[in-house]
Each structure stands twice: as structure tokens, then as C-alpha cells.
Amino acid sequence: MFRDLLFPASPGARASLGLLTVRIVAGAAFMFHGGPKLSHPTDWMQSDLPGMIQAATVIAEFGGGALWVLGALTPFASLAIGCTMALQASKHIGHGDAFSTIKSASQDSEKALLYLAVAVLLLMIGPGTFAADHYFFRKGKEEH
């Protein structure tokens, strides 16, 4: 039962192909943004945010992105990325509207909200058939 909650049954091949596309694009983007921060994970941000929080963000971005690309441990990666993006969005939304047509801090909140939506999607539906999670946790256990 716990496995079914964390690793839901995979959708059909067509939906799984769509999920694979979303996972690869979003995961690669997170790896791209988190990668440079790996060289100085506890002080990459010019703020008073504690170094451990900054390091956790780097792990969520780079590690979570890599896990999304592979479709491995997707619920945990999605939760980590989702929390990071929720905090990021709330930080920027406090400075103005969440969505805007002008270049401002709200554009950062738009990206964070979009990535948060991807994290919720993958957390609720799972990574699809073309994923390591399916191979290790669902293969041969499908209801259909």
C-alpha cells in the first residue's frame, strides 16, 4: 500500500511519453541551474540564508533534477524541488504580482510556480512507464 502511494500505477504509453519529455526538460534545467552552485554550495547566494539551507537548495536542484531525468525516486525529488520552488515563489510574490508582462521579480515567481506545478504533477501522477521508478517499483505490478 505504501508503495502504491509513493509509486502510483503508470499511465499509458502516450501519457508516459509526455511525462518523460517533461521530466527530461525540467530535470535538465534544474541540473543546469544547480550545477554551478556545486562548487560553493553553502555561500552561492548573497543573503543571510544559512549555509545549510543554501546547500539543501543545491542538492534539491541538481540532485532532484538528475533524479527527474532518470525517473528515479521521483516522489522524493519532486517533494524537494516543490518545497524549494514554493519558497522561491513566495519570496518573489511578496514583491509584486505573481504574473506580469513586464520584466520584474514577478518573472522569477512565474518560473518558480511553473516548476512547482511540474513537481506537483510528478508527485501526484508519477514519472510514467519510461522511468527507473517504474522498472524497480511498478514493473509486473500494474493493475491493467
d(Cα 125, Cα 15) in Å, to the nearest integer? Answer: 10
pLDDT at 30 over 80: yes
Element (H, E) at 87: helix 74-93
Packed helices 105-125 and 13-34: angle between N→C axes, nearest 10 degrees: 140
Residue 44: its pLDDT value, please? 86
Cα R_g (the chain), whole angstroms:
16
pLDDT for 11-24, tens place per residue? Answer: 899 999 999 999 99
d(Cα 122, Cα 108) in Å, to the nearest integer? Answer: 21
pLDDT at 143 over 50: no
How sure is the predictor about 48, in pLDDT bands with cuts at 50, 70 and 90?
Answer: confident
pLDDT for 91-134, tens place per residue? Answer: 766 555 555 544 555 566 788 999 999 999 999 999 999 999 99
Residue 110: its pLDDT value, please? 84
How sure is the predictor about 25, in pLDDT bands with cuts at 50, 70 and 90?
Answer: very high
- Determine the number of helices (DSSP H) and then strands (DSSP E) in the chain: 7, 0
d(Cα 129, Cα 74) in Å, to the nearest integer? Answer: 12
d(Cα 121, Cα 42) in Å, to the nearest integer? Answer: 30
Question: Which has more pLDDT, 106 or 75?
Answer: 75
Question: Which has more pLDDT, 81 or 49?
Answer: 81
d(Cα 10, Cα 7) in Å, to the nearest integer? Answer: 8
pLDDT at 142 over 60: no
Note the pTM of the prediction, 2 decimals.
0.84
Side-chain-side CA neighbours of 34 within 13 Å: the count stands at 23
d(Cα 25, Cα 12) in Å, to the nearest integer? Answer: 20
Question: Which has more pLDDT, 21 or 1?
Answer: 21
Residue 118: its pLDDT value, please? 98
**DSSP 8-state secondary structure symbol assigned to residue 139:** T
